[in-house]
């Protein structure tokens, strides 16, 4: 079982969102600028709605921190909601197609969709981003870097070089209003979002996260629920509006002969001191994972986000739960396109799963103990075949 876990609590229009993390080593420095910066990025991106003008998300540490470092106790994070009006929010009797409204209302035997939509709302992802940003503080101690970006919006898809450095990816992404590192594609995406806004429609897209400097052997092939690819896929799939996940070549693997798909293994003594121990690949169709474990290559994972189903000018047909009469879906304030925000969420849930696997492999009650375990493992791995 994983030793690092988190849970979230809170409603979209409740007093706050909460994240509770357990299993962090003691002595980990927490970077408020990094954590709040990720929360700020989640609120940004061209195509977001009016809610983001109301909220200014910041993390408040309630427990588990002393003088800026974790104590080893459970870490509780609060993100206050300025738009807190849960009790005053009107009932919703007309479930919106594409949302959790109908299934949740039937599940909890009510004709009011309000309770379901308040918890199912993507507002909850602010807490997940906070948890992932804390995980990034841990990954940074091991020089592991995770970067996420928008790969496609609607029919516009960017071609992002596989060998683009993380520093370049991040700087180019941060210059884009849609978090896409390719300027020409960014401009086309903005035009497409603008057209959809005018017509009252919404857009989905593809997001990608990459992680580098991962040691070999994170995850396991021993049990299905210990496989890192299964954990990553579950974490990304659990992000609201994600309908598909792929790792590396993903679905294209089904159409590619094995001789052209699998990544040959080579050895470069000059890279022996790096986390990949000198084992290199000319390609990375596996996306950095083989047999449920990291193989020393960059991890690459993508998520497909559907268009947000809340439509202002084109409300979807539905049925009123109280009367069963045909009607049009109720409108709740929403975005035209939240793919940029989704890329931030995916980046951070991926970072959390990598941190979980790192703690599983190099577990220690304190950060110095974890680092010693990590260094000992790499030293032992480098000696393989030398005796």
Cβ distance 139 to 147 under 8 Å? no
DSSP string for residues in 281-293: -S--TTTTEETTE
Pairing of strands 242-247, 299-305: antiparallel
Cα torsion 170, 208, 225, 117: sign = positive
pLDDT at residue number 10 = 96
**Quick check: 279 pLDDT over 90?**
yes
- Are 181 and 164 in contact, with CB atoms under 8 Å apart? yes
Q: What is the pLDDT of residue 1?
A: 46
With both helix axes pointing from N to C terminus, report the angle between 339-361 and 125-140 in degrees, rounded to the nearest 10.
50
Model pLDDT, residue 335: 84
Question: Residue 213: pLDDT band by 50, 70, 90 thresholds?
Answer: very high
CB 203 within 8 A of CB 193: yes
Instruction: Tell me what pLDDT residue 330 has.
Output: 73
Residue 233's nearest CA partner among 217, 246, 215, 224 is 246
Residue 335 or residue 64, greater confidence: 64
pTM: 0.95
Instruction: Report d(CA 57, CA 34) in Å as an integer.
Output: 13
Structure confidence at residue 162 as a pLDDT band (50, 70, 90) = confident
Torsion of CA 245, 248, 254, 256, to 10 degrees: 160
Dist. CA 263–CA 245, nearest whole Å:
21
Lowest-pLDDT choice from 20-24, 221-225, 331-335: 331-335
Tell me how far CA of residue 293 lies from CA of 200, 221, 229, 237, 334, in angstroms.
Answer: 44, 7, 7, 19, 38
Fold of domain 5-382: Chorismate synthase, AroC fold (3.60.150)
Q: How far is CA 220 from CA 173, 196, 289, 290, 354, in A?
A: 33, 44, 10, 10, 13
Calculate what percentage of the chain has a pLDDT beyond 90: 87
pLDDT tens digit string along 227-240?
999 999 999 999 99
Residue 138 and residue 23 in contact, taking contact as beta carbons nearer than 8 Å: no
* CB-count burial class (<10 Å; 0-12, 13-18, 19+) for 198: exposed
User: Which region among 46-50, 81-85, 244-248, 260-264 has the lowest average model confidence (pLDDT)?
Assistant: 46-50
- pLDDT tier for residue 312 given thresholds of 50, 70 and 90: low
Judge contact between 185 and 176, C-beta under 8 A.
no
| Average pLDDT value for the chain | 94
What does the pLDDT look like over 320-360, one tens digit per residue? 999 999 998 877 667 889 999 999 999 999 999 999 999 99
Mean pLDDT over 131-160 rounds to 98
How far are the Cα atoms of 24, 40, 100, 101, 143 from residue 135, in angstroms, in the given order?
A: 9, 17, 29, 32, 13
Contact present, 329 and 95 (Cβ < 8 Å) = yes
pLDDT band at 204 (very low <50, low <70, confident <90, very high): very high
CA atoms within 13 Å, Cβ hemisphere of 354 = 36
pLDDT above 70 covers what percent of the chain?
96
Provide the pLDDT confidence category of residue 385 given band limits of 50, 70 and 90.
Answer: confident
C-beta atoms surrounding 23 within 10 Å? 17
Cβ neighbours, 10 Å, residue 301: 28
Q: Looking at residues 20-31, what average pLDDT do you find? A: 98
Residues 32 and 38: their CA atoms lie apart, in Å, by 10
Per DSSP, the three-state class of 7 is strand
52-86 per-residue burial string, b: 16 or more CB within 10 A, e: under 16: beebebebebeebbeeeebebebbbbbbebeeeeb
- Nearest one of 201, 193, 207, 204 to 47, comparing CA atoms: 193
Q: Which of 151, 242, 245 is nearest to 189 (CA)?
A: 151
Domain extents for the chain?
5-382
> What is the token pair recorded at 77?
């994070």
Q: In the predicted model, is pLDDT for residue 117 greater than 60?
A: yes
């Amino acid at each position: 079982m994983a030793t690092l876990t988190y849970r979230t609590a809170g409603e979209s229009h409740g007093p706050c969102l909460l994240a509770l993390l357990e299993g962090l080593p003691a002595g980990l420095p927490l970077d408020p600028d990094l954590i709040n910066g990720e929360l700020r990025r989640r609120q940004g991106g061209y195509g977001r709605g009016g809610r983001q003008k109301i909220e200014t998300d910041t993390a408040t540490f309630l427990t588990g921190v002393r003088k800026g470092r974790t104590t080893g106790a459970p870490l509780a994070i609060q993100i206050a909601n300025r738009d807190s009006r849960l009790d005053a929010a009107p009932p919703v009797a007309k479930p919106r197609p594409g949302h959790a409204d109908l299934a949740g209302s039937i599940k909890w035997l009510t004709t009011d969709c309000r309770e379901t939509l308040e918890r199912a709302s993507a507002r909850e992802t602010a807490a997940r981003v906070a948890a992932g940003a804390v995980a990034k503080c841990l990954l940074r101690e091991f020089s592991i870097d995770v970067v996420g970006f928008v790969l496609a919006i609607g029919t516009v898809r960017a071609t992002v070089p596989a060998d683009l450095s993380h520093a370049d990816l991040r700087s180019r992404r941060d210059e884009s209003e849609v978090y896409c590192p390719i300027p020409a594609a960014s401009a086309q995406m903005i035009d497409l979002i603008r057209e959809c806004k005018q017509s009252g429609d919404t857009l989905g897209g593809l997001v990608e996260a990459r992680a580098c400097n991962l040691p070999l052997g994170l995850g396991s092939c021993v049990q299905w629920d210990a496989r890192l690819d299964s954990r990553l896929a579950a974490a990304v799939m659990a992000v609201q509006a994600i309908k598909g996940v792929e790792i590396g070549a993903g679905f294209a693997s089904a159409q590619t002969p094995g001789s052209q798909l699998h990544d040959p293994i080579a050895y470069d003594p000059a890279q022996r001191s790096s986390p990949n121990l000198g084992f290199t690949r000319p390609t990375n169709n596996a996306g950095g994972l083989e047999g449920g474990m990291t193989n020393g290559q960059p991890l690459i994972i993508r998520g497909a986000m559907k268009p947000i189903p809340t439509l202002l000018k084109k409300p979807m047909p539905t049925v009123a739960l109280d009367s069963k009469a045909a009607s049009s879906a109720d409108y709740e304030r929403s975005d035209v396109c939240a793919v940029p925000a989704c890329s931030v969420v995916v980046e951070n849930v991926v970072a959390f799963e990598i941190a979980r696997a790192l703690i599983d492999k190099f577990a220690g009650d304190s950060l110095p103990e974890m680092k010693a375990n990590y260094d000992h493992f790499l030293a032992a791995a480098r000696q393989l075949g030398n005796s």
